[in-house]
Amino acid sequence: MGGLTTAMFLFLIASGLSLVFGIMRVINFAHGSFYMLGAYLAWQGVQWFHPTGIGFWAASLFAACVVGVLGAVVERLFFRSLYGREELYQLLFTYALVLILGDVAKFLWGTDQLSVSTPPVLVGSVQIFGSTQPLYNLFIMILGPLIAFGGWLVLNRSGVGRMVRAAQMDREMLDALGANVGTIYTGMFVFSSFLAGLSGALVTPIQSIVPGMDVLIIVQAFIVVVIGGMGSFWGTFWGSVIYGEVLSFGILIFPGFSLFSVFALMAVILIVRPWGLFGRPL
């Protein structure tokens, strides 16, 4: 059960990463930084909107939107000119963002641990299958699959989704057919950043906000995306479940080597099926 909560959080973060990779073929290291900014902004929002009632929810939405706007700026100003360039430059560009955003967060919010209290509605815990679960974790466990289902619905059952999938398959063809590929790319990047910001905000009640949470989370999100298959929504979902369970069972079976086991899993999957369990070959 503990594994599942971790898994659903990771899913929220990794789904954005996976989307951007699936469409733009870019590994976005800055995704972790967006997540961290989401957490800090949520804390800031809670200070502003008062820590009662609607405060936390407004703050989360605020954080996600600000990060989404930041994503738009980054895509329009910088990323756009890197699409034709080699992967190396794209990787390093997102790494430059990691460095810069990390320091911006340090500058604005300092290096102390910050924390946000659980919204009053979700304080307390419930009994499920004989184990006690905090209500907030349960909320996340429901929200995760909901977003996965929603994302799948939009991608596979709507006009916008069809465009996105077309961009994923053949960018030039779609462009030639008159679709505005640039807008689709920006939109996907914004949505991905929004998800990163939202997950950062939602994690604040159960995890304290510290500098360095960006580089820690991005590696985990990578593993999830690699396991599930980049660009695949359900793949990312199952990837997070596998990751969460391997990590928590790994701790039970050989404590100390659970970290090792998830990285090893990532390596094995890259060796055997580089495009992931649910993805398609490039």
Partner 1 sequence: MTGDTTTAATPTATPAAPAGRVIGSGSSVLSRIPWTLIIFLAACAVPWIGTRYNTFLAEQIAIDALFAVSLNLLLGTTGLVSFGHVAYFGVGAYVCGILMKTYELPFIIAFPAAGLGSALFALVSGYFCVRLIKLYFAMLTLAFSQIVWAIAYKWNDVTGGDQGLPEIPFPNLDWMNSIPFLSDLKTAEQFYLLTVFLIAVSLAVLHRIVRSPFGRILTTIRDNPERAAFIGVNVRLYQLTAFIVAGAFAGLAGALYGIFSRGVFADYVFWSKSAEVMIMTILGGMDYFWGPPVGALVLVWLNQAITDYTEYWPFVLGTILLVLLFGFPGGILGGIDALWTRVRGMRRA
**Residues near partner 1, by CB under 8 A:** 25, 27, 78, 81-82, 86-89, 91-93, 95-100, 102-104, 106-107, 215, 219, 222-223, 226, 256-257, 259-260, 263-264, 266-267, 270-271, 274-275, 282
Closest CA to 237 of 150, 167, 148: 148
Query: Rounded CA gap, 223 and 218, in Å?
Result: 9
Give the torsion sign (CA, 197, 203, 204, 210): negative
Residues 6+ apart with CB under 8 A from 113: 208, 209, 210
- How many other C-beta atoms can be found within 10 angstroms of the C-beta atom of residue 157? 9
Task: Tell me the closest approach of the beta carbon of residue 107 to partner 1, in angstroms.
Answer: 7
Could you tell me which residues are beta bridge partners of residue 126? 133
Task: Tell me the closest approach of the beta carbon of residue 97 to partner 1, in angstroms.
Answer: 7
Q: Which is closer to partner 1, CB of 72 or CB of 82?
A: 82
Q: What is the distance in angstroms between the CA of the first residue and the CA of the last residue of the chain?
A: 35
Strands (E), the chain: 125-128, 131-134
Task: Tell me the closest approach of the beta carbon of residue 12 to partner 1, in angstroms.
Answer: 21
What six digits make up the tokens of 81?
A: 């000119």
Task: Tell me the closest approach of the beta carbon of residue 243 to partner 1, in angstroms.
Answer: 13
Closest CA to 101 of 59, 71, 56: 71
Task: Tell me the closest approach of the beta carbon of residue 255 to partner 1, in angstroms.
Answer: 9
Q: Which is closer to partner 1, CB of 150 or CB of 274?
A: 274
Q: Which is closer to partner 1, CB of 126 or CB of 216?
A: 216
For 205, the enclosing helix (H) or strand (E) is none
Q: Which is closer to partner 1, CB of 59 or CB of 181?
A: 181
Q: Which is closer to partner 1, CB of 50 or CB of 106?
A: 106
How many helices (H) and strands (E) in the chain? 11, 2
What six digits make up the tokens of 241?
A: 């479940």
Q: Which is closer to partner 1, CB of 54 or CB of 99?
A: 99
Query: Tokens 């810069």 label which residue?
Result: 100
Q: Which is closer to partner 1, CB of 56 or CB of 222?
A: 222
Task: Tell me the closest approach of the beta carbon of residue 261 to partner 1, in angstroms.
Answer: 9
Query: Rounded CA gap, 267 and 282, in Å?
Result: 18
Task: Tell me the closest approach of the beta carbon of residue 45 to partner 1, in angstroms.
Answer: 24
